[in-house]
């Protein structure tokens, strides 16, 4: 799983781009690839975790999780260890 930041995301169009940390190539991000309940949206500059796949026209970010959502998935014991470290 890669880490990066949202470059921009257009709610009306349902897509945007993210950039992997340490790299400069834009990765296409479609709203259907966002892993969250409710309204699926991202904000520019938001930290995200994602997988990268080759799409028909370039690289795509999939299984996109916000940093907050990824932390919510950690088991309580892992979270306690992370917080106390």
- Using DSSP's 3-state secondary structure scheme, residue 34 falls into strand
pTM for the predicted model, two decimal places: 0.79
Burial class of 38 by CB neighbour count within 10 A (0 to 12, 13 to 18, 19+): exposed
Confidence of residue 1 (pLDDT cuts 50, 70, 90): very high
Which runs of consecutive H residues, i.e. helices, occur in the chain?
A: 67-72, 76-84
Which positions ≥6 away from 73 have C-beta within 8 Å? 65
Per-residue model confidence as pLDDT tens digits over 6-58:
999 999 999 999 999 999 999 999 999 999 999 999 999 999 999 999 999 99
Domains observed in the chain: 2-84 (2.40.50.140)
């Amino acid at each position: 799983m890669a880490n990066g930041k949202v470059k921009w995301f257009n709610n009306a169009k349902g897509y945007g781009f993210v950039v992997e940390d340490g790299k400069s190539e834009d990765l296409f991000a479609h709203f259907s690839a966002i892993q969250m309940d409710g309204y699926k949206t991202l904000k520019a500059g938001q930290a995200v975790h994602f997988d990268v796949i080759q799409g028909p026209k370039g690289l795509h970010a999939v299984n996109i999780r916000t940093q907050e959502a990824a932390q919510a998935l950690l088991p309580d014991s892992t979270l306690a260890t992370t917080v106390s470290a």
